[in-house]
Amino acid sequence: MQIIRHSEQTLKTALISKNPVLVSQYEKLDAGEQRLMNEAFQPASDLFGPITLHSPSDWITSHPEAPQDFEQFFSDPYRKTPSPNKRSIYIQSIGSLGNTRIISEEYIKWLTGYCKAYFYGLRVKLLEPVPVSATRCSFRVNENTHNLQIHAGDILKFLKKKKPEDAFCVVGITMIDLYPRDSWNFVFGQASLTDGVGIFSFARYGSDFYSMRYEGKVKKLKKTSSSDYSIFDNYYIPEITSVLLLRSCKTLTHEIGHIFGLRHCQWLACLMQGSNHLEEADRRPLNLCPICLRKLQCAIGFSTVERYKALVRWIDDESSDTPGATPEHSCEDNGNLPKPVEAFKEWKEWIIKCLAVLQK
């Protein structure tokens, strides 16, 4: 295992900057927020640790990128920021997300509530779910894993056409595997930062995807025409477990972070680290490091205390979403399913430690 450890001064500059304007901006933050963010460059901090690499296939080793500090984020001329007229994140589900309609509806409400807390201060709305056929996307059977896959680029074009006037971004979510081009095996997700759209698949987050007993394998693609999507009728959907919900929340917030202009984090263990495979994605924490937290706060303008409290409420509220999430189309009341939040308990303890620092 390799540990990427930056000097205190490097981390301090990445967070605060040497630009007098940005230093002044930092000094105007609430005292508690400064205290928490300063943990970034405290070597003994038990809140924010260094990035660890476990294999040559890990993201940083295999995808060399220039790191992005706060000043580079702030000065990026192409960065998109929510405006008073565009402060809504829309979620579009494509295909069924659960084995029953009720599970599907509850799962998307859980994700909506989580996004509302994570991107605190923005509205999060649901678009009417659509079947795969509505997107007119290309699809195939993966020659290695023998599961169905839909074309990510085609879905992005569909989402761009559906983007509402008040949308900061529209994100599609699906339980069907994705591929970006014929030569690629698969992709967890893909986004267009200029168009403010993204599509993310949770198909590989089920506990059985890589096992011999996986039920989503297709022997042969029987397609009468390019407009025949009948193969997706009753296609296999993994069980919604606590681990699958955690992985889904992680991917969704990571990719929306990119739409805000946050690049892959190379400073500390952070949600915005890149990941090349599921094992690496599982090591990535749910939280943002202080440098990325400052970036997101700069983009949205939230109170860090209120954001963390909203995340704790989401974990504690074991029904559906947090109060105030606004589905564009309300569902009939079917009785709420218990939200599987066991996998989030450790993170809740971490947030409570952060709140103690913020409110000291």
Tens of pLDDT along 87-134?
999 999 999 998 888 899 999 999 999 999 999 999 999 999 999 999
User: pLDDT tens digit string along 139-173?
Assistant: 999 988 889 999 999 999 999 999 999 999 999 99
CB 216 within 8 Å of CB 99: no
- Looking at residue 171, what is its pLDDT? 97
Buried residues in 191-203 as b, exposed as e (16+ CB within 10 A): bbeebbbbbbbbb
Q: With contact defined as beta carbons under 8 Å apart, do 47 and 304 qualify?
A: no
Task: Give tens-digit pLDDT for 224-277.
Answer: 566 789 989 888 888 899 999 999 999 999 999 999 999 999 999 999 998 878
Whether 56 is in a domain gets the answer: no
- Using pLDDT thresholds of 50, 70 and 90, give the confidence band for residue 360: confident
Measured CA to CA, the distance from residue 18 to residue 186 in angstroms comes to: 41
Q: What are 292-350's pLDDT values in tens digits?
A: 999 999 999 999 999 999 999 999 986 554 444 444 443 444 457 889 999 999 999 99
Give a yes or no: residue 85 inside a domain: yes
In a domain, 169, yes or no: yes
- Written as six digits, the tokens of 169 are 């971004």
Tokens of 102: 């009720």
Give the integer Cα–Cα distance in Å for 53 and 74: 28
CATH of the domain at 84: 3.40.390.10
Calculate the alpha carbon distances from 288 to 79, 188, 207, 220, 249 in Å.
Answer: 19, 20, 26, 43, 13
Catalytic residue among 33, 255, 306, 318: 255
Query: Is residue 88 a part of any domain in this protein?
Result: yes
pLDDT at 334: 45
pLDDT at 85: 95
Assess contact for 252 and 111: CB atoms under 8 A: yes
pLDDT at residue 324 in the model = 42
Distances (CA, A) of 250 to 88, 96, 243, 244, 303: 19, 20, 11, 10, 21
Kindly tell me if the per-residue pLDDT of 14 is higher than 80: yes
Q: Is 332 exposed, middle or buried (0-12, 13-18, 19+ CB in 10 A)?
A: exposed
Query: How many domains does the chain contain in total?
Result: 1
Q: Are 228 and 202 in contact (CB under 8 A)?
A: no
pLDDT tens per residue across span 92-101: 999 999 888 8
Helix (H, G, I), strand (E, B) or coil at 52: strand
Question: Domain range holding 94?
Answer: 16-30+67-218+227-302
Over the stretch 179-188, which tens digit does the pLDDT of each residue have?
Answer: 999 988 888 8
Q: Which amino acid is at 312?
A: V
Q: What is the pLDDT of residues 40-88, one digit of tens each?
A: 999 889 999 999 888 888 888 888 899 999 999 999 999 999 999 999 9
CA distance 107 to 240: 8
Average per-residue pLDDT for the chain: 90
The values of phi and psi at residue 253, to 5°, are -75, -35
d(CA 303, CA 301): 7
pLDDT digits (tens, 9 = 90+) for 22-47: 999 999 999 999 999 999 999 889 99
Mean pLDDT, residues 208-226 taken together: 75
114 near 248, Cβ under 8 Å?
A: no
Per-residue confidence (pLDDT) for residue 206, from 0 to 100: 85
Indicate whether 107 belongs to any domain: yes
- Quote the CA–CA distance of 190 and 45 in Å, as a whole number: 34
What does the block give as tokens for 210? 């890589």
CA distance 138 to 341: 35
Asked if residue 142 belongs to a domain, the reply is yes
Q: Where are the beta strands (DSSP E) in the chain?
A: 2-4, 51-53, 88-94, 123-126, 139-141, 148-151, 167-174, 177-179, 189-192, 197-201
Sorted by sequence, the CB contacts under 8 Å of residue 335 that are 6+ apart come out as: 102
Query: Considering the domain boundaries, does residue 45 fall inside one?
Result: no
Q: List b or e across 28-45, with b for residues whose CB sees 16 or more CB atoms inside 10 angstroms.
A: eeeebbeebbbbbbeeee
In the prediction, which pLDDT does 226 show? 66
Q: Is residue 36 part of a domain?
A: no
51-53 and 2-4 as β-strands: parallel, antiparallel, unpaired?
antiparallel
Q: In angstroms, how far is CA 166 from the centroid of its own chain?
A: 21
Whether 318 is a known active-site residue: answer: no
